[in-house]
């Protein structure tokens, strides 16, 4: 957001057309080199018109840096952004969301104006003393914008994770999806399945005016009016297509257009990437488009290819993590690994018991 210290709009002088992200460059597959810019320090400021803004330092002693190697992949960014939202939304978290956002930016890179900042830093004429002022302006963003973008992405991912766990017979996340967190609203996505439609009056959606979230809230209100229940009274899996459509509606459109790749001088069909949220949504959409059929989830055939990195959520702590080609289902923290082992033991005891009973019946 190109705003100066007084909150006035200042047009960018960066060239947005020089940076190219092709189909093969974005997503959770393999190594992906982003042009993320790292700032060492940020300054927070309150402006009358834009509220709290974060301005990166671009001055002597605080020169911004480009990743030379080990740039975070789309999957890395997706998992870390999800975990940032989870932390911000956790009632037991004592640090302010502003602190957590700035900490994320310092660790991963600047979240906005990705194309323009990269263009500045790679321009042969670039000089810190001359361009620093403009880079600071281009990089300035509103904390409120970040929170709004983060909430939307967090809601979409939460819904997806709840969906995935449900396909693996774990309804916990889906049942809790409607609950509001410390800062972010819950999504009453699954509430309608907590009651039987035969018991409920017809819902008139006309006042929602096509707003999906409003419609879901009306479903939730109808569910509450019938009977308060903490379990599903319908088999949610039977509504798989309907649920899929709702998830797709939450994902923003991508602007795809032809760009010239300056390295190869060839035209490529590429997505516009301005913010880290564009990268995350794109990675998420790709994951969905490459997903296996619901009935195959958890089966050996659903195992990703060796090079594939998939963003999953841990069934024990709920954090997002990246599963490489092995079949790990936990985030790898010792307590989650332990919980997984205990669950395996319980399951095998249950299975042995079922086997024994089965033999007796026969």
Site residues (CB under 5 A) for Zn ion?
A: 314, 316-317, 331, 333, 336
Distance, CA of 316 to CA of 330 (rounded, Å): 7
The CA-based angle 51-3-12, given to 5 degrees, is 150
Query: Which tokens in the block code for residue 99?
Result: 């602190």
Shortest CB 330 distance to Zn ion, Å: 5
Q: Which is nearer to Zn ion, 97 or 316 (CB)?
A: 316
91 vs 334, beta carbon nearer Zn ion: 334
- Shortest distance, CB of residue 332 to Zn ion, whole angstroms? 7
Closer to Zn ion by Cβ: residue 317 or 343: 317
Nearest residue (CB) to Zn ion, 8 versus 170 = 170
DSSP string, 160-213: HHHHHHHHTT--HHHHHTT---SSS---TTSGGGGS-GGGSPPP-GGGGTT-HH
3-state secondary structure 97-120: HHHHHHHHHHHHCCCCCHHHHHHH
Question: Residue 171 CB, nearest distance to Zn ion (Å)?
Answer: 18
Half-sphere exposure of 24 (CA within 13 A, CB side): 2
Shortest distance in whole angstroms from residue 340 CB to Zn ion: 9
Give least dist CB 320 to Zn ion, A.
10
Cβ-based nearer residue to Zn ion, 90 or 245: 90
CA-closest candidate to residue 95, choices 87, 107, 85: 87
Beta-bridge mates of residue 308: 29
Please report how close the Cβ of residue 61 comes to Zn ion at its closest, in angstroms: 39
Instruction: Please check whether residue 118 is in contact with residue 276, taking contact to mean a CB–CB distance below 8 angstroms.
Output: no
Q: Kindly state the DSSP code that residue 13 receives in the 8-state scheme.
A: -
Place of tokens 């502003």: 98
* CA dihedral of residues 23, 31, 252, 183 (deg, nearest 10): -170
Residue 324 Cβ vs Zn ion, minimum distance, rounded to whole Å:
16
Cβ distance to Zn ion smaller for residue 29 or 311: 311
Q: Which is nearer to Zn ion, 40 or 333 (CB)?
A: 333
For Zn ion, the closer of residues 61 and 334 by Cβ is 334
Q: How many CA atoms lie within 13 A of 23 on its CB side?
A: 5
> Smallest gap, in angstroms, from Cβ of residue 92 to Zn ion?
16
Nearer to Zn ion, 37 or 162 (CB): 162
Q: Measuring CA to CA, which residue among 29, 49, 25, 24 is closest to residue 115?
A: 25
* 22 in Cβ contact with 256 (< 8 Å): no
CB of 336 to Zn ion, least distance (A): 3
Tell me if 232 sits within 8 A of 193, measured CB to CB: yes
How many CB atoms are closer than 10 A to CB 264?
10
């Amino acid at each position: 957001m190109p705003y100066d210290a007084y909150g006035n709009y200042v047009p960018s002088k960066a060239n947005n057309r020089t940076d190219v992200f092709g189909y093969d460059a974005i997503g959770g597959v393999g190594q992906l080199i982003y042009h993320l810019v790292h700032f060492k320090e940020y300054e927070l400021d309150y402006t009358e018109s834009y509220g709290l803004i974060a301005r990166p330092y671009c001055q002597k002693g605080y020169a911004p840096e480009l990743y030379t190697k080990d740039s975070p992949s789309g999957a890395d960014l997706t998992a870390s952004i999800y975990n940032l939202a989870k932390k911000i939304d956790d009632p037991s978290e004592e640090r302010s969301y502003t602190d957590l956002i700035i900490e994320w930016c310092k660790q991963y890179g600047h979240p906005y104006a990705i194309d323009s900042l990269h263009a500045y830093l790679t321009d042969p004429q670039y000089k810190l003393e001359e361009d620093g002022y403009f880079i600071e302006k281009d990089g300035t963003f509103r904390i409120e914008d970040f929170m709004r973008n983060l909430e939307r992405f967090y809601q979409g991912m939460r819904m997806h994770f709840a969906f995935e766990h449900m396909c693996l017979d774990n309804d916990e996340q889906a049942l809790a999806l409607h609950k509001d967190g410390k800062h972010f609203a819950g999504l009453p996505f699954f509430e309608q399945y907590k009651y039987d439609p035969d018991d409920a009056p017809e819902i008139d959606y006309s006042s929602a005016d096509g707003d999906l979230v409003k419609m879901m809230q009306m479903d939730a209100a109808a569910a509450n009016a019938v009977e308060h229940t903490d379990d599903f009274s319908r088999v949610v899996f039977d509504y798989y297509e309907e649920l899929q459509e709702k998830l797709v509606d939450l994902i923003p459109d991508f602007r795809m257009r032809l760009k010239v790749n300056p390295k190869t001088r060839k035209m490529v069909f590429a997505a516009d990437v301005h913010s880290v949220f564009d990268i995350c949504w794109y990675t998420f959409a790709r994951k969905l488009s490459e997903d296996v059929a619901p009935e195959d989830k958890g089966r050996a055939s659903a195992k990703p290819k060796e090079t594939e990195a998939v963003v999953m959520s841990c069934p024990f702590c709920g954090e997002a993590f990246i599963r490489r080609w092995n079949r790990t289902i936990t985030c790898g923290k010792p307590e989650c690994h332990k919980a997984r082992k205990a669950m395996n033991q319980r399951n095998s005891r249950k299975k042995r018991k079922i086997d024994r009973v089965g033999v007796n019946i026969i």
